[in-house]
A and B are shown apart, each in its own frame.
Chain A
Amino acid sequence: MDAEFWNKLRNDCRDEAAFEHCQQMLLQELQPLEQAAKNASFQLEQQKALLHVITRLREPIDLEEIFQATAIEIRQLLAVDRVGMFRFYPDSGWDDGEFVSEDVDPAFSSAIAEPVHDHCFGDQFAVHYQAGRIQAVADIYNAGLSDCHIQVLAQFQVRANLVVPLLLGQNLWGLLCIHQCRGPRQWNPTEIEFVTQIADHLGVALHHAELMVELRKEISDRQQAEQRAHNLNQELRQAIMELKAVNKELEAFSYSVSHDLRAPLRSIDGFSQALLEDCFDRLDEDGRDYLQRIRSASQRMGQLIDELLMLSRVTRSDLRWATVDLSHLASQLCWDLQQIDRSRSIDCVIQPDLVTQGDPLLLRVMMENLLSNAWKFTAKQPQARIEFGAMHCTEVDSAAIGAVDPLPTRNNLIYFVRDNGVGFDMAYMDKLFQPFQRLHGMHEFPGNGVGLATVQRVVRRHGGRIWAEGHLNQGATFYFTLMENVEES
């Protein structure tokens, strides 16, 4: 009310007494209005401060920064001496903790990082704060506080105290502490309401921070896993490179084997033959026999080298995939075998239309070896029988056909080549597929022991396995699968 207003009022009043009465009445009416205006302006400031805090919470900054900025904001707005965020040590049962963030009037000492032990709190009060209790104390010396509590507060020069819980979900994480140190102070409801709202928002920030920690951990876990995968890949690449180098060496080796080992054999055989031809008359029966032995030994060694080369080729050559009619192949091969010795009587029983995917050359090598084995080991049978066929995995009992490992569950075929020849002792099953292992004497059945090793490699390269079942003088059956691990399309 300016002077002009009061002059006007004085003029309108009938005398000085009336004017004073009017003035008194007006001032009485105005007082609450002025208080209300003051409150409104404080609330506006509060709203602004709250908005600041909330805006900051939404920015991806870390908890420490949020705490610090919030502490400064609150301290300015409420004109208090210290605002601190107190954190309980996890697993201390709320007995222990420390201030992790603070804004303090320079006239008073800092409470930061000073361990606080207060068993009374953990024992009696924590549960109430967990439930949302707020403590507003105007003067700690006149509020009936326990001695231990006063002692803790006095440590930080506290005179008036406003404490609001900081909750992470349902759990009491810490306390938002507002301290007045220079003297007692009454906390009015709007101030308490304001601090409570701030604490709620800090709870949200705590939750976000916790999620962030989890997220970071997950990211770092994932990065570590990626790193491990990367390292593994690197190791694999290294191993592949080494393998390739070894393979190259092998190739060079077998090339020189094929060249350098066969050449001297040709000389041995060739000049033995030359001796036989040129000096036939001058040699006696023994001499000719010895030369003949030299020749057959060098020829056998030549075959052995060839078979070894085949074995290594089977392993290192690239697979060329095509449709292969195994039944047709088996018929052809059996016919060829029958031509070798027409005096033998052989029944060849071949199940028709067994068609598979595979490398035609390698599968031919495989069938050739299996069938010529059957042909060889039935030589002493007056009526030999060689069978080629297949059955579905699901229709057979694996034990009944001597399979060591469980058969595939998918509807794969198990192929078999069966003969009624001399068979073998199951005790030597392990040796069957090892190169140069033979179960019969050379004079009994010729061979180098490379054939079945070759067959096994072909089968393995086609994602299958091979095993055998037999008994002495009761024939043998070779079972094999192909493409167990390849999806049929």
Chain B
Amino acid sequence: MSGSAAQKVILLVEDNPDDEALAIRALKRHHIGNEIVVAHDGVEALDYLFGTGIYEGRDTSIKPAVILLDLKLPRISGLEVLQRLREDDRTKLVPIVILTTSSEEQDLLNSYSLGCNSYIRKPVDFVQFSEAIRQLGMYWLLMNESPPS
């Protein structure tokens, strides 16, 4: 395990508390020990990443190893968060995985067009969901070489 990735946080952007609990449970079950920061809507996610609002003064040079981003979010939608992160030099290289319920073609197309790194549809079956989280953690935290800071 690369030392730097292990210490990095995972930013989970999720407004549904059940999905949040299940995602955290799945990560824990697979012994992914990174700190998990949860943003409950698009505004919170952007505040965290750019050190604004409730995250005023946060050291933004510390970037998440991966962002797990839901699409359907209150206030600012997942697609808009994705677009803003990709437009900003500070965040344009951070790996972003769309983790959503939707398998609508349009959502897939928009997400990839805006530059997401991966798109995962949350399955109803928790065992499958857990497996998806495991693979996702394996890939983005262990195998993937992070972009230079």
Show the binding face of A for B, using Cβ within 8 Å: 255, 258-259, 262-267, 269-274, 295, 298-299, 301-302, 306, 309, 317
Contact = CB atoms under 8 A, between A and B. Distances in A.
Contacts of A299: 124-125
A258 B124 contact: no
Interface in B88-105: 101-105
A267 B103 CA distance: 18
Interface of A is mostly: helix
Q: Name which of B19, B105, B122, B126 has the most chain A CB atoms within 10 A of its CB.
A: B126
B18 interface: yes
A410 B125 CA distance: 49
A258 B102 contact: yes
B32 to A, nearest CB: 17
A18 B60 CA distance: 153
A447 B123 CA distance: 19
Contacts of B135: none
A309 B103 CA distance: 10
Contact of A302 (B16, B124, B127, B130): B124
Interface of B: 16, 18-19, 22, 25, 72, 101-105, 122-127, 129-130
11 contacts: A255-B104, A258-B103, A259-B102, A266-B123, A267-B19, A270-B18, A270-B25, A270-B126, A274-B25, A299-B124, A302-B125
Given A263-B18, A266-B129, A273-B127, A255 B102 contact: yes
B122 A266 contact: yes
A262 B126 contact: no
Nearest to A305: B124
A224 B125 CA distance: 64
Nearest to A302: B124
A422 B101 CA distance: 37
A317 B129 CA distance: 28
Contact of A263 (B19, B103, B105, B126): B19
A270 B133 CA distance: 13
B104 A262 contact: no
A271 B125 CA distance: 11
A265 B102 contact: no
Given A263-B18, A266-B19, A267-B18, 8 more contacts: A264-B18, A266-B124, A267-B19, A269-B124, A269-B125, A273-B127, A274-B22, A302-B125
Given A273-B127, A299-B125, A266 B22 contact: yes
Contact of A267 (B22, B123, B125): B22
A299 B123 CA distance: 9
A364 to B, nearest CB: 15
Nearest to A296: B125
Contacts of B125: 269, 295, 299, 302
B101 A270 contact: no
A299 B128 CA distance: 11
Given A270-B129, A299-B124, A259 B101 contact: yes
A359 to B, nearest CB: 13
A278 to B, nearest CB: 9
A293 to B, nearest CB: 14
Contacts of B22: 266-267, 270-271, 274
A295 B126 CA distance: 9
Contacts of B101: 258-259, 262-263, 266
A150 B25 CA distance: 122
A255 to B, nearest CB: 6
Nearest to B23: A270
A258 B105 CA distance: 12
A258 B22 CA distance: 19
A263 B126 CA distance: 12
